[in-house]
Structure 1
Amino acid sequence: MKKINLFSTLFLVTLMLACNPSEEESLPQIVLKNSSSTSLKDKGIEINLKDLEVVEGKFPKITDAEGNAIAYQMDDTNGDGKQDQLFLLVDFDAEEEKTLTLEWVDEAADFEKRTAVRFGKRDAVDQAVTPRQSDVLLANELPRSIGYQPYQTDGPSWENDKVGFRHYFDGRNSKDLFGKKTSAMSPKNVGLNDKGEVEDNYHTMEDWGRDILAVGNSVGLGGFTLLKDDQPARLGVLVEDAVNNIEKSTFKILSEGPVRSIMHFEYNNWDAFDRKYPKVEEKVSIIPGMYGFKNEVKFHGLQGDEHIAIGLVNIHNDKGIKQLDDFQDWVVLMTHDAQGYDKEWIIGMALILPKAQFLEMIEAPKEGNVTNSYLAKMKTANNEPIEYYAIGAWELSEDGFNDAAYFEQHLRDLVKHLEAKIEVTVK
C-alpha cells in the first residue's frame, strides 16, 4: 500500500509540474512604470527589438493584466529595410506600474487606424496620380520647369485622429495645416478629381475638414531654415522659381501604421550663403491623440557660424507671440488669433522646443525668400539632431481652442505629457 501511495504522489507531482510551467517557460513580460504624477493618455513607448527575443515569422500579441490588447506596431525607424523598434500606445494613471504580457502568434492584430500618410504623383500631365512610397525630386523638375504640378496636395500629407499637415515637396519645403472635424482618417483622394488628376479641392470645407492655414513665403508651421548673422536662407525656392537650390530631394515613407506614421526627407547639395551643404535630413512622425507632429532636423557640413531656426507662420496673427519657459525640458512659443485662410477661424499654433538648445525668438525679414515667420533660433552643432513639436489647434476641432487661455493650458498639459518618463523593463 505504501508503494502505491508513493507512485501516486510522484504521478501527481509530475502532473502539477506539467500544468504549471517553470518561470523560464512563461511568456515574456514588459513592465512599464509611469514615474510621474501625471495621468497619461496615449503615451508612446519605444522598445528596441534587440531587447526582445523576436520570433521570426510571428507577430506580437501584447495584453495587459486584464487581458486587454495593447495597440502596437513594429517599425523600421532608420530606413534600412529592417524593423528595429516596437512602438506601443499605453494609458497610465499617475505613478502607475503596468505589466504587459508578450506572446508571438501566427497572425497580426488589426487595430483601429489612427494615423495615415497620403502621397501620390503623376509622371506626365496626362497621367493619373498613383500612390507612391517614395520619390526623388531633382533641381530641374520643379512644377514651373516641367509645366504642371506632379504631386497630390503639393507633396505628402499626414494626419492622426486630431489634425493633419502637409509638406510642400515641390521645392518650397514649407509645412501647412489641415483642420479636422472628425477622428476618422481623411479620404485618400484628397487633392485629386474624379479622373485622378491633381486638383486643389482641399480649400473647401468637407465633412472631414479642410486646409485652413495661409503659408505664403513663410516656412509654415514647424518648417525650418538656416540662419547666418540672423539672416535666413530658404531650404528650397518659391512657387515662381523654375530651378531648385537643392540638387536632389528625397522623400520616403518609413512607416504608416495604426499608432504611428514616420517619414524621412533628405536634401543633398543645397546652395546657401555661397556654400554647398552636402546633406540636410528631417524625420517627421505623428502619433494619435496629439494636435501636432514631431520633427527631427539634422544638418551635415555646417561651418560653425550658422544656426538652425524653426519657423512659425505669422501671416494673419495680430496678437503677437507668447513664450512659455517655466518647464524643465521645453520652451513653448505660441500664437492665438483668427489665423484661418481668410481670418475666418481661430487657430492656436505653437512650437515646443528643447530648452537646452533654444536661444531666442527672432522675426524673419519683411522681404526675401523667407518672410512672415517667427523663427526660433537654436544652438546648432554639425550632425547633431534637434527634436521639436509643431502644434495646430483649430476651433472647429475642439470648442475650447477659440479661447487663448484654454489653448495655453492645453499646451501646458501636453508638455507635462512629454516630460513624463516611462521606465521600461523587459523580463
Structure 2
Amino acid sequence: MKKIAILPIVLLSLISCKENKSQQKNEKEVVTEVKSIPKTYAEISIAQGGTWVDGPNGHEEYKGGTSFKNVAELQLPEQHTDHTWYIRYEGPGWENAQVGYRLYLDWRNAIDIYGKKTDSLVLPYVGQDGFDSYHHDAPWGQDILKAGKSMGIGGYGRVMADTMVHFQKVQDTKAKITNSDTNSTIDIMYTGWESGKDNIDLKSKLTIYPEDRYTKAELTPSKAIEGLCTGIVDHNVNFHKKEGETWAYIATYGVQTLAEPADKLGMALFYKLNEVVEQKKGDYEHLVIFKPTTETVTYYFLAAWEQELNGIKTEEDFVKDLDSKLAALNTTNSIK
C-alpha cells in the first residue's frame, strides 16, 4: 500500500491534541463532545486501486492496492482466501477500551486477540502501514495470539472423527458491520458450508460492549449437525474449568503471547451446559462441542493481557474475575 487511509473516527487522543481549544468551551459543549466518542468499534476494510493476479501459492492475490476503504457490508470475492492481501488484517475487527479482536474471514475462521496498552480506539490505524505490522510491538499494543491450526479464542468449526473441519468449502460468505451507542456487532452469513456429507448455512453474530473484555457469540445453523464447536487454543499453560447450575467456563492462563519476551495472558470461554454435549481436549485446542440444533447457541469469550492498561496482572485475580462472571450468568443468564 503506497498511501495511508486514515478513517474519520473520533478518538480520545484527538481531544487531547486540541486541549487549548477545549479549555475555551463551556461545560455543555464538553459534555456533548465526550458523549460523541464511541465506546466500541467494529470495522472491515478492503484494499482498493489494485487488481487480482496469479500468486505463487496457487491462488490469486490482490496486488497494487493504493489504500484501504471501510465498508459496512462485504461479500467475499470468489478469489479470496488466506494471505491474499485484500482485507486489512485479514478480516473484521472489533474493540473497546480494554481489548480488541479480529476474525480471519477465510477458510481458517479463527479469532485472534489484539492486546491493548491504551484505552483509545485503535483499529482504524492498525495495518495501514503494512500488511502484518501489527505483529510487532507498538505504543497501542499488538497482535498477541498465535492461533496456528486452532480456532484461536472463540472461533468456530466442526469436529468430525476427531478432525477439525474449518471453512474450506463455503459457497458464499457475507459480513455486515454495525456500530451503535451500546455495542458493536459483526454479522456473518455462511451459505453452503460443506463438511462431510452435510451442507448447511450458518449465521454468526459477534458483539462487543463498552465495558469488560468479553465478546458475545451467537451461532445459528440451518440444520442440526453433530460436532459444531468452539474452543481456546492450547499453549500448554494452566487450565481451569468450573461448572455452575446452568453455565460453565474453561480458561487458560500463563506465558502464551507473541510479545517479546512472551508474557502472561488469560483466555476464557463461557457456555451453557444444556447446549453442550462435551468439553474435551482436541489436537490444537480445548474444545466445547455443541448439541445438534437449529436453535441459536450462545457463548462468551474473553482475553485478559498482562500489559493491558489497569488490567488483570495475576492468575488469582483472573480466576476471581471469571468466578464473578460465572455467578452472574448462573443468576441472571447475563454476564453483566
TM range (shorter): 0.7 to 0.9
Which of 110, 119, 130 lines up with 2:44 in the alignment?
Answer: 119
| Aligned residues with identical type, % of pairs | 24
**Match runs of 1:7-406 below 5 Å:** 110-123=35-48, 124=50, 125-127=63-65, 128-143=67-82, 148-193=84-129, 198-236=130-168, 245-253=169-177, 255-277=178-200, 279-302=201-224, 304=225, 306-314=226-234, 316-319=235-238, 321-325=239-243, 327-341=244-258, 344-365=262-283, 372-381=284-293, 383-397=294-308, 401-406=312-317
Q: Secondary structure at the match of 1:416?
A: helix
- 2:85, 2:131 within 8 Å by CA — same for their partners in 1? no
CA contact (8 A) 2:94 2:123 kept: no
Q: Distance in 2 between matches of 1:350 and 1:117?
A: 21
**8 Å contact kept, 2:175–2:187:** yes
> What is the one-letter code of the residue matched to 2:154?
G
Letter of the 1:268 partner, please give it. T
**Post-superposition CA distance 1:55-106 (Å, at most 9, x none):** xxxxxxxxxxxxxxxxxxxxxxxxxxxxxxxxxxxxxxxxxxxxxxxxxxxx
After superposition, the C-alpha distances for 1:154-184 in whole angstroms (9 at most, x for unaligned) are 1111001111100001332110001112221
Q: Deviations over 1:368-425 (max 9, x none)?
A: xxxx2111112221x2111000110001116673422211101111223444549xxx
Please, which runs of 5 or more residues in structure 1 have no aligned partner?
A: 1-106, 237-244, 366-371, 423-427
Which has more radius of gyration? 1
CA distance, structure 2, for counterparts of residue 137 and residue 393 of structure 1 = 31
C-alpha deviation, 1:309, in angstroms: 1.2
Computed over aligned residues only, the root mean square deviation of the Cα atoms, in angstroms, reads 2.5
CA contact (8 A) 2:95 2:123 kept: no
Distance 1:276 1:395 in 2: 42
- Asked whether the 8 Å contact 2:184–2:207 carries over to 1, the reply is yes
Helix, strand or coil for the counterpart of 1:410?
helix
- 1 CA distance for matches of 2:131 and 2:74? 20
Contact 1:347–1:401 at 8 Å: present in 2 too?
no
The CA distance in 2 between the partners of 1:222 and 1:143, in whole Å, is 19
Residues 304-336 of structure 1, C-alpha deviation per residue, up to 9 Å, x if partnerless?
Answer: 5x132111111x3333x22111x2331000111
Q: Could you say if the C-alpha distance between residues 216 and 134 of structure 1 is closer, same or farther in structure 2, counting changes exceeding 3 Å?
A: same
Paired letter, 1:114: K
Q: CA deviation at 1:222?
A: 0.1
Judged with a 3 Å threshold, the aligned counterparts in structure 2 of structure 1 residues 307 and 170 are, in CA distance, closer, same or farther, namely closer
TM-score scaled by length of structure 1: 0.63
Structure 1 residues 138, 268: closer, same or farther in 2, change over 3 A?
farther
- The structural deviation recorded for 1:187 is 4.7
AA at the equivalent of 2:274: A
CA distance in 2, matches of 1:323, 1:344: 24
Task: Report the alpha carbon displacement of residue 290 of structure 1 after superposing the two structures with TM.
Answer: 1.5
Shift of 1:142: 2.3
SS at match of 1:301: coil
SS in 2 for 1:122: strand
> What SS does structure 2 have at the residue aligned with 1:188?
helix
Q: Say which SS state the counterpart of residue 408 (structure 1) adopts.
A: helix
What letter matches 1:158 in structure 2? W
The CA distance in 1 between the partners of 2:33 and 2:125, in whole Å, is 27
- C-alpha contact 1:225 1:311 (8 A) present in aligned 2: no
Q: Report the CA distance between 1:112 and its aligned residue.
A: 3.7
**Structure 1 residues 171, 232: CA separation in 2 closer, same or farther (over 3 Å shift)?**
closer
What is the SS of the residue equivalent to 2:320? helix
| Partners of 1:108 and 1:417 in 2: CA distance | 34
Q: Which AA in structure 2 matches 1:261?
A: S
Sort the Cα spacing of 1:113 and 1:417 in 2 relative to 1 into closer, same or farther, 3 A. farther
What SS class does the counterpart of residue 269 from structure 1 fall into?
strand
CA offsets, 1:140-159, max 9 Å, x none?
Answer: 33256xxx310111111100
Distance 2:127 2:216 in 1: 24
Report the Cα distance in structure 2 between the residues aligned to 1:232 and 1:202, rounded to whole angstroms.
28
Distance 1:273 1:138, change over 3 A: farther
TM-score in terms of structure 2 length: 0.79
> Gapped runs of 5+ residues in structure 2?
1-31, 51-62
Query: Which amino acid is the alignment partner of residue 259 of structure 1?
Result: T
Do the aligned partners of 2:232 and 2:285 also contact (CA within 8 Å) in 1?
yes
Give the stretch that moved more between structures: 293-302 or 109-118: 109-118
Q: Distance in 2 between matches of 1:401 and 1:110?
A: 27
The 3-state SS of whatever aligns with 1:405 is helix
